[in-house]
Structure 1
Amino acid sequence: MPRPPRRPPELRRRIFRGSEARRLGLLTPSDLRSTGWRRLFRDVYADADIQLTHEVRAWAAGRYAIPPGAAIGGRSAAALHGASLAGLDDPVEVLSVRDFGPVTGLRIRRGPLAPSQVLAVRDGVRITTPLRTCWDLCRWHPAEEAVAHLDVLLARGVLRAPELTAYLAGQRDEPGWRRVSETVALADPAAESPPASRLRVRLVQAGLPPPVTQFVLAHEGRVIARLGLAWPGARVAVEYAGPWHPSREQLERDRTRLNRVLGAGWLVLHVTAARLHDDFPAVVGEIRAALQARA
């Protein structure tokens, strides 16, 4: 029967440097290769009982894997600010004023970083401020991905629209300002899901008029539905259907709600995750045809 891995109490539920654990005599190189520990980055390990997320990996990188002067940025900073959209295995994004690495598991980007653009969180881990995080998200990622993060940050109050507008006004001479401004203009704190945010951005980029997000539909004096994306003038709505399977009770409620929306004279088109990925031009064509027919 295999011997259980050695797990000193001093390291339980902790993230630590392997070299330090060896220096203190807590673990051997063989112990670190056992199932009791997970290697996160070079010389950085975690107790296997810790539930890993991108936020945990980002914090660990900021604590142990990046040099002084660098900061966790982009999607990883957004995750630490509360917009947890990056996947567990996605590279942790780092902004640094000087080159270092490469380091497996990190996506290192070089650029200027003023002290006012950095916050210190738990145990002194440095992350970019919400405003600088927004700037980098818009520069580093496609608009649909950046907006999905911005929608969450705005909805949670981490970013505020007036502050964001003022920040952008002060960055007009910076490279990439136009791209960032155009991306920020697509953000909407009313959005309720990242997939719907991505769909909304792609539809606008495809040339469709901007839809109203989470439109409240009232009919005969009572609210009957909130519609994910809506063009009220044409009474057309689009709803994103993710890869999930509702219960029978939820299916009944959804069908009843849909019947009421149709009864109010609306056309509802559904976009599945598969069609968004594989058949997007046809989706755009269907929505455009519906808007033209019902204008």
Structure 2
Amino acid sequence: MSFTTSADLVEFAEPFLGSQAMATGAVTERALRSPLFTRLFRNVYVASTVPVTHVLRCRAAALLAPSRAVLTGCSAAAVRGVELVGTHDPVEFVLPESVLFAMQDGVHIRRTSRGRIDSEPWQEIRLASSARLAFDILTNTKLHRSLPRVVGYLDALLRAGEVDASVLADYMRGRRDNGVVRAKKVLRLADPRAESIPESELRVWLTVAGLEPDPQVPVHDEHGVFAGRLDLAYPTQKLAVEYDGDWHRGGDQPQRDEARRQAIRALGWRFVIVTKAELYEAPKAVVASVRAALSRESAA
């Protein structure tokens, strides 16, 4: 079988098992190996005209999973509309210990000895409930996500209304699963006012160092006119701490940022600006910079 136009590939717009497609004569092995198709997992393909997203990879992984497998964690969050991870981050599952599921690249499997996994039917397998997916994000230490990053994920879930803090606290009460101690710490550090995951991470680095800032602080001039909102701030010392990600460097955003900060500086505020490289490569140095700025104010 040959494919000459994108229309020929319409039936392959959803992930499919290569072995099944070849068995029915819908596609040849040679075609599967050609640029016409994208290999998502071993034996799972999609037409190369289809943009690959994390949710698409979740649907692809579901074709390989046993029916009792539960899509969970950041993968389940993506399916529910909260994007926390990148396209090629591992697709996360939780399964009862007795259920077999062969490991392969791009799939992360966690097992539980507890009975029922809170979930609902999805794609011939199951999708974790909001509380369960959040619980798995908070307790899974094998993915080696930092404490600040996990707090950022929870902040995003809370901000989106996907999970409620009190419901999650009740869900964790009395549980002794691995990672539950860290999960409770994450819940204590969470704050849905954060507007981005890096902002959450910056707040957590400062908080665990004993420099707890206030998030999303509005600033008004002496006449009550709104001058701007600060990512993180120490109002008593009039010190603002802001994260400038890559998007702050594009278009007219740098000029807009500087104009806002100049107006706020005119009201007596100082700024510590943190870049992406500083936050992820030297977070302790960022903490030291903020501590030094606060110390200068105290000594003044």
TM exceeds 0.5?
Answer: yes
Residues 72-83 of structure 1 mapped to structure 2, 5 A cutoff? 72-83=71-82
Residues 90-169 of structure 1 mapped to structure 2, 5 A cutoff? 90-98=89-97, 99-112=100-113, 114-115=115-116, 117-121=118-122, 123-140=123-140, 141-169=145-173
Q: Secondary structure at the match of 1:271?
A: strand
Match of 2:86 in 1: 87
Asked whether the equivalents of residues 5 and 34 of structure 1 are also in contact (C-alpha less than 8 Å), the reply is no
- CA distance in 1 between counterparts of 2:239 and 2:21 reads 61
What TM-score do you get using the length of structure 1 for normalisation?
0.89
Q: Deviations over 1:73-95 (max 9, x none)?
A: 22212222222121222221111
Q: Deviations over 1:137-188 (max 9, x none)?
A: 11223222212211111111111122122223353x4443321110111111
Matched, 1:275 2:278: yes
Offset at 1:125? 4.1
Asked whether the equivalents of residues 138 and 180 of structure 2 are also in contact (C-alpha less than 8 Å), the reply is no
What TM-score do you get using the length of structure 2 for normalisation?
0.88
- CA distance in 1 between counterparts of 2:182 and 2:34 reads 47
Q: Deviations over 1:24-67 (max 9, x none)?
A: 111111111111111111221111111111121012212x0211
Structure 1, unpaired ranges of 5+ = none
Match of 1:203 in 2: 206
- CA distance in 1 between counterparts of 2:106 and 2:221 reads 52
Q: Secondary structure at the match of 1:35?
A: coil
- CA distance in 2 between counterparts of 1:219 and 1:114 reads 58
> What number of residue pairs does the alignment pair up?
289
- CA distance in 2 between counterparts of 1:215 and 1:59 reads 41
Task: Calculate the aligned-residue CA RMSD, in Å.
Answer: 2.3
Moved over 6 A (4+): none
Q: Secondary structure at the match of 2:296?
A: helix
Match of 1:182 in 2: 185
> Partner amino acid for 1:212?
D
Offset at 1:9? 5.1
Matched, 1:32 2:35: no
Q: Secondary structure at the match of 1:281?
A: helix
Q: Deviations over 1:240-264 (max 9, x none)?
A: 011232324x333322211121122
Distance 1:8 1:256, change over 3 A: closer
- CA distance in 2 between counterparts of 1:147 and 1:208 reads 17
Q: Secondary structure at the match of 1:90?
A: coil
- CA distance in 2 between counterparts of 1:137 and 1:3 reads 42
> Partner amino acid for 1:32?
L
Asked whether the equivalents of residues 9 and 47 of structure 2 are also in contact (C-alpha less than 8 Å), the reply is no
Residues 204-283 of structure 1 mapped to structure 2, 5 A cutoff? 204-205=207-208, 207-220=209-222, 221-244=224-247, 245-248=249-252, 250-283=253-286
Asked whether the equivalents of residues 15 and 60 of structure 1 are also in contact (C-alpha less than 8 Å), the reply is yes
> Partner amino acid for 2:183?
V
**Sequence identity, in percent?**
34
Match of 1:22 in 2: 22
- CA distance in 2 between counterparts of 1:201 and 1:234 reads 19
Q: Secondary structure at the match of 1:77?
A: helix
Offset at 1:100? 2.5
* Worse overlay, 74-83 or 177-186: 74-83
Asked whether the equivalents of residues 208 and 288 of structure 1 are also in contact (C-alpha less than 8 Å), the reply is no
Q: Deviations over 1:204-224 (max 9, x none)?
A: 23x133211111112221211
Structure 2, unpaired ranges of 5+ = none
Asked whether the equivalents of residues 155 and 191 of structure 2 are also in contact (C-alpha less than 8 Å), the reply is yes
Asked whether the equivalents of residues 90 and 106 of structure 2 are also in contact (C-alpha less than 8 Å), the reply is yes
Asked whether the equivalents of residues 158 and 165 of structure 2 are also in contact (C-alpha less than 8 Å), the reply is yes
Match of 2:11 in 1: 11
